[in-house]
Amino acid sequence: MPEVSPTPPGTLGSKILRRGRRTVLGMDPQKLIKNFFGANSSIAIIVLVLIMVFLLREGAGFLSTYHHELETYRKAGLEFCDIADTPLKQQQTMASSLRRALSIEMEPLVKTARERRDAAFLFKRAHDEQNSDGTATFDASPLFTPEEKNQLKAELAALAPESTDLPATLQKLAGEFATKDREAKTKFKTIIEAEETFEEAAEPVAEILDELKTHATETKEAANEFHTLEAGRQQLLAAAASASGSEKADLLKEAELSKVEEPKYAERVETLLEKREDLVKALGDYVTAVEEAAKSLQSSSTHPEAAQLIASVEKAIPTHLADIQKASKDLAAWKWDEPVSFFRAVSSFAFGTGWITNSSWQDFYGVLPLLTGSLLISFVALFIATPISVTAAIYTNQFASEREKELIKPVIEFIQAIPSVVLGFIGIAVVGDLIKGFSQWEFLSWIPGFPIQERLNIFNAGFLLAFMAVPTMFSLSEDALNNVPRAYSEASDALGATKLQTVFRVIVPAAISGILSAILLGLGRVIGETMVVLLVAGNRIAIPDFSDGLGAIFQPAHTLTGIIAQELGEVSRGSSHWQALFMVGILLFVISLSVNWCARTIAKRFEHPKA
Amino acid sequence: MNNPFAGDNSSIQRRETLARWLLRLGSYVVVALTVSIFLFITVKGLPHALKPGFLTELTSTLHVIESNDGQVFKTNPVEADVIKKQLGDNFRSEKTISYSGGGILGPIVGTALLVIVSVTVALFLGVCCAIYLSEYAKKGKFLETVRLAILNLAGVPSVVFGLFGLGAFVLTAPVLTDAPADRAIFVIPLFFTNLSFQGWDTCVLSGGFTLAFVILPVIITASEQCLQAVPQGFRETSMALGATRWQTIWRSVLPFATPGILTSTILGIARAAGETAPIMFTAALAFKDKLPWQKDLPPLPADAGMFAHWEQSVQRFLGVFTESVQALPYHIYTLAAKIPQNEYSEQAQYGSVFVFLILVASLAATSIWLRIHLRKKYKW
């Protein structure tokens, strides 16, 4: 565009012209207008900077707050209790799988007797309430011979209405069950005993720990109260410094009044340390007892599922014991006044495996489970969306007739307008049930994780997000294909290549950088999506269990975006939880910026010469 | 006569056809999915959306009363008491389902207000930015930075915009007030009042401004494309006749770009109406039993002058923007995730989803249709 050259200065004519112009701040109207628009154009930069500023303002205090909280956690001795408590939690899951194995083993032996007893008692109740449905169920029951049925009916009829005695048949049935149960228990005596020893072994440790925990919680509460009051006092002092006269004196007096003693950590921790030897000893006893129990566990079991459960426990025991022994060592080495390094707060946020809030014990803000959830969902979404949208782009750009283009393009563009909350709703109402229904089909059972337990899971969210990502990836890939110089395809055609060869050996490779950056931008869109994952991902804050391989994608998870949307409304401003959520926001912001940066770099790197 | 160009049905050609069909299948899977989602929502939601009062009543709690002789009454809280009295001993049970009764007038009005504010703000900022980029800017560092910023802004997750809106508009934005709140960051005293940076609280204004920045990149990019599409010759002709740069833009560029800009604005409206995360903490409310303008203001004295009446009308009008509202997407979220699910809440859900989808979809469809239409009309 040619620039309008300014009137040359100095001539008389120009001076006259200039007199007619008004200037503001040394700028004539044209310049003013230009600068106005120029200022407006920097709005995008300003907004980006402002986003960062406000996120930092609310979230920047997080690391120091969290560091402080972790310090109290150590000083008050909560950490001391957790050293022993964390490995003990494994014991509970192990005990529960042992119990389950046991019930699986015993089930075939006692099943008939128990069902017969229960059915008879149900019938008695139906008879008492004169419920005809109950009688019908009993009549149809295959568990009893006709003679037995008639006998029970006769006995019930003969029974006095208010009598609390049990009819003879019922007593007999109850007796039968008891005998069977006893038989089963004798048969699996070793497992039962092992299970009992296993459970009892932890009891002395738990007893000591409970006592210590109460004590530590008290210290922590005192410390928190002290910090609140102290913060208030500092504010009063600050106000006093800027006030004057009698007001100042009042404020100072008030500050003096609200002064409290900091809890004496050393004294309070002493109580914990006194028990240290007991605790270590109890842990030692626990180790011996568990080893004992593990030996008797090795008896072969008959049922495959039970055997699997028992085997998994057996496999877990050595690591568990190693953990316990490590815990004993840590307990012995633990010092309450060892300073908590600032790095610990950072790593506890970035690599912490627990996001635990509103707990009466201690809050932890570990972002790892959320990050894993977000990434898993995004990868599932990309895995589904990439082939579909790239295929659609290739087809629309290279093969489709004009008429088809007029159908496909608007429809795919239209997807962009479907609000995410509507898709989330569809995920809850339809897709969840569909996936669960599919997973129960016999011939699909080879897929890991099938049949699935939860309707709302990673796969469901990923599927819907894939749908959302299609328009972005489709239109950007199509642009990339469109930008391939015509000469390329013409040259290929001239060499006698078929259409398919031209497309897949010439055009797609030439556009690959654009397609890759389209995929990356799709990833950016997917990772930042909120409503779908909030509604559909299942919202369980835990790192998915990868022991099942790919089956992990059928477990529920929580995400970075979801946690903000879910929890921010309920926390008070300025608390560590609030700050933590803003830190998650900062993390998301940084992720989205870097994904964008990568996409641009890739697109630039492989740019082909403009023809 | 044989067609010399006919296929010879060789293996190569069969492979070509197969591949072509596979590619076609990939494209039509997406189309089929979209259409089936749309049909599904229509079939499930249309009957509920057509119920009398669904579009014209405010949201309320649904009371379901069963009588002993098997009658079922679905009513609002006020009538529920009357019916219970009438039934007397015949009354068997009552269930209450939050947010599922009445209609969705409140959410519709709220969404409309949010959209009006956000589009006004975004259109002004976006078009100004686009004019600079297309008409004034010269290649250089500044232009590159601006373009990079726009790209990055488009990639920022919507929930981060929500956090930004909370920090910036709800908690920090400046207000004129006589009594600044304690939480204000700083207060600039003016002669008759104070400019206090204490935030606008959760209200339409906060939500609208937040949404404006969400759709800003869309508007900028689309407007710039429309401006660029106006042929260079128009500008040169105007300049050659001695018009200034601004006259050129105002008289011979903008008139031709405006239809396109407005068309793409409709797409921006659809986007703004559909976003949930940015308004969650800045404007939306799960339940409200009044429309934004039904506000209790102190009654005017009988002898109040024109000015007092006028002042109150203005106050009422401004009050609309300084209150939090229900919004359709947030309403759907509440219905789907925050209350126990049963058949009655399901009806309210499908009804609202249908209305919402129709609103947004018709906006998007209009925009797409208009664009195709315009493209045919303006061919230079």
B202 and B338 share one domain? yes
Residue A131 has pLDDT above 70, yes or no: no
B134 and B252 share one domain? yes
A511 and A563 share one domain? yes
| Amino acid identity for residue A163 in this structure | S
A512 and A403 share one domain? yes
A324 and A385 share one domain? no
A313 and A402 share one domain? no
Distance CA A402, CA A486 (A): 18
What's B360's domain CATH number?
1.10.3720.10
Residue A18 has pLDDT above 60, yes or no: no
What mean pLDDT is reported for chain A?
81
Helix (H, G, I), strand (E, B) or coil at B181: coil
Q: Is residue A584 part of a domain?
A: no
- Average pLDDT of the residues in A13-17: 50
Q: Is residue B317 part of a domain?
A: no
A46 and A67 share one domain? no
Chain-centroid distance, C-alpha B378: 29
Q: Which of B213, B210, B184, B178 is nearest to B197 (CA)?
A: B184
A303 phi-psi bin (left φ>0, alpha ψ -120 to 50, beta other): beta
A277 and A407 share one domain? no
A420 and A273 share one domain? no
Q: Least CA distance to A579: which residue of chain B?
A: B163
Q: Is residue A75 part of a domain?
A: yes
Closest in A54, A412, A521 to B168, CB measured: A54
Q: Is residue A106 part of a domain?
A: no
Give the number of domains in chain B. 2
Distance CA A395, CA A418 (A): 23
CB spacing of B357 vs A422 below 8 angstroms: yes
Q: Assess contact for A594 and A520: CB atoms under 8 A.
A: no
Chain-centroid distance, C-alpha B287: 19
| Span A272-310, pLDDT tens digits | 777 777 777 877 777 787 777 777 776 556 677 777 777
Closest in B27, B131, B333 to A395, CB measured: B27
Residue B297 has pLDDT above 80, yes or no: no
Q: Is residue A395 part of a domain?
A: yes
Give the number of domains in chain A. 3
What mean pLDDT is reported for chain B?
84
In the block, tokens 């294909």 appear at A481
A26 and A74 share one domain? no
Q: Is residue B247 part of a domain?
A: yes
Q: Which of B74, B102, B130 is the last residue of a domain?
A: B102
**Percent of chain A scoring above 90 in pLDDT:** 17
**Percent of chain A scoring above 70 in pLDDT:** 92
Contacts B232 to A, Cβ<8 Å = 1
A233 and A94 share one domain? yes
Q: Is residue B204 part of a domain?
A: yes
Selection from A114-128, A181-195, B62-76, B219-233 with the highest mean pLDDT: B219-233
Q: Provide the angle, in degrees to the nearest 10, between the axes of the packed helices A29-41 and A43-59.
A: 40
A436 and A291 share one domain? no
Strands B174-177 and B72-75: unpaired
Token readout for B68 is 């002993």
Element (H or E) spanning B174, and its range?
strand B174-177
Q: Assess contact for B34 and A414: CB atoms under 8 A.
A: yes
B82 and B163 share one domain? no
Q: Is residue B64 part of a domain?
A: yes
Q: Which of B13, B153, B160, B266 should we substitute to test contact with A (largest number of A Cβ atoms within 10 Å)?
A: B160
Q: Which of A17, A41, A390 should we substitute to test contact with B (largest number of B Cβ atoms within 10 Å)?
A: A41
Contacts B142 to A, Cβ<8 Å = 42
pLDDT for res A11: 57
Q: Is residue B71 part of a domain?
A: yes
Write down the ipTM of this complex.
0.88
**B89: which DSSP letter?**
G
Residue A529 has pLDDT above 70, yes or no: yes
| Amino acid identity for residue B44 in this structure | K
B155 and B171 share one domain? yes
Token readout for A417 is 């307008």
Range of the domain at A262: 63-98+190-345
Q: Is residue B22 part of a domain?
A: no
B225 and B279 share one domain? yes
B255 and B192 share one domain? yes
- Average pLDDT of the residues in A99-104: 80
B124 and B83 share one domain? no
Angle at B140 between CA A605 and CA B220, to 5 degrees: 85
B192 and B172 share one domain? yes
Beta bridge partners of A538: A557
Q: Which of A450, A604, A423 is nearest to A520 (CA)?
A: A604
* C-alpha neighbours within 13 Å on the C-beta side of residue B166: 28
Q: Is residue A224 part of a domain?
A: yes
Contacts B157 to A, Cβ<8 Å = 527-530, 561, 588-589, 592
Element (H or E) spanning B216, and its range?
helix B204-229
B66 and B170 share one domain? no
pLDDT for res A608: 60
Range of the domain at B110: 106-288+324-377
Strands B91-102 and A364-365: unpaired
pLDDT for res B160: 93
B71 and B164 share one domain? no
- Torsion, Cα B141 B142 B148 B154, to 10 degrees, reads 180
Q: Is residue B12 part of a domain?
A: no
B127 and B251 share one domain? yes
Q: Which of B50, B83, B102 is the last residue of a domain?
A: B102
CB spacing of A569 vs B281 below 8 angstroms: yes
